[in-house]
Amino acid sequence: MAMAAQWLTKSMIYSFRLEGRLRFSFPTTAKTLEGRFILSTTRRRRLFWGSNDCQIRNSSCSSNNNKSYLELSDEELMKQCEMDTFKSSGPGGQHRNKRESAVRLKHLPTGVLAQAAEDRSQHMNRESALSRLRTLIALKVRNSVNLDEYSPPQELLQILPLKSTIRPSDIGPQIGPKNPKFALGMQALLDLIVAVEGSVSEAAKFIGLSTGALSRLILSDDALRKAVNDLRTVKGMKPLK
């Protein structure tokens, strides 16, 4: 381990896939950097070398030019996934699926799982699983929000109704749940709602909508509605209907 430490530089970033404690000694500074880290099968952590110490943080964005996971192309996102194929338990008869055409994707940085098995084509199932993975990342992966300096990101503005008082006129038509870009806006909206601890009325103030208008936006998508209501239930609030 001492020999390996000699070629480590402070500017390099390493990902470790093990559990326990590592101890690194640097003779030039007579200091020891000691890092504790635990990595489960569903979460990746990165070790960042600083000037005097090391910090361990959960990955919240991709390593591809600091894009968020949902901003990655399908090809880039697939490179972060582990793909399994399996036989689906479809209907019997001569058209029964005898090949492993069902697809399961595991997004390694976050541990989010998505699968598709409704088509007899593995290619089509992979596309469906990847689309579902984007939605699940939007629902499950949160980004921190500073309410004191909050400014709605463009992806959130795009899913807001035209009646929003902060929505720019040149941002284009409202994006609905069937648009592939809706997942980006949904993630940003959930980040805000989590930051205000589930209060729809408080979130509405930040995006120039009435409480009723924001409630209707949330209720327009079943997955978004469920995510918000799950949070409100935890906070002791009534679900939206």
**Which structural domains are found in the chain, ordered by start?**
12-58 (no CATH), 69-90+98-140 (3.30.160.20), 147-234 (no CATH)
- Average pLDDT score over residue span 123-128: 96
| Distance (Å) of CA 29 to CA 6, 12, 26, 32, 51 | 12, 18, 6, 8, 11
Dist CA 151 CA 130 (whole Å): 30
- Average pLDDT score over residue span 82-93: 76
Query: What is this structure's pTM?
Result: 0.70
- Average pLDDT score over residue span 180-203: 97
Question: Is residue 221 scored above 80 in pLDDT?
Answer: yes
Confidence of residue 186 (pLDDT cuts 50, 70, 90): very high
Question: Is residue 18 scored above 90 in pLDDT?
Answer: no
Lowest mean pLDDT of 72-86, 93-107, 118-132, 194-208, name the range.
Answer: 93-107
Lowest mean pLDDT of 25-39, 45-59, 124-138, name the range.
Answer: 45-59
The tally of CA atoms less than 13 A away on the side-chain side of residue 87 is: 7
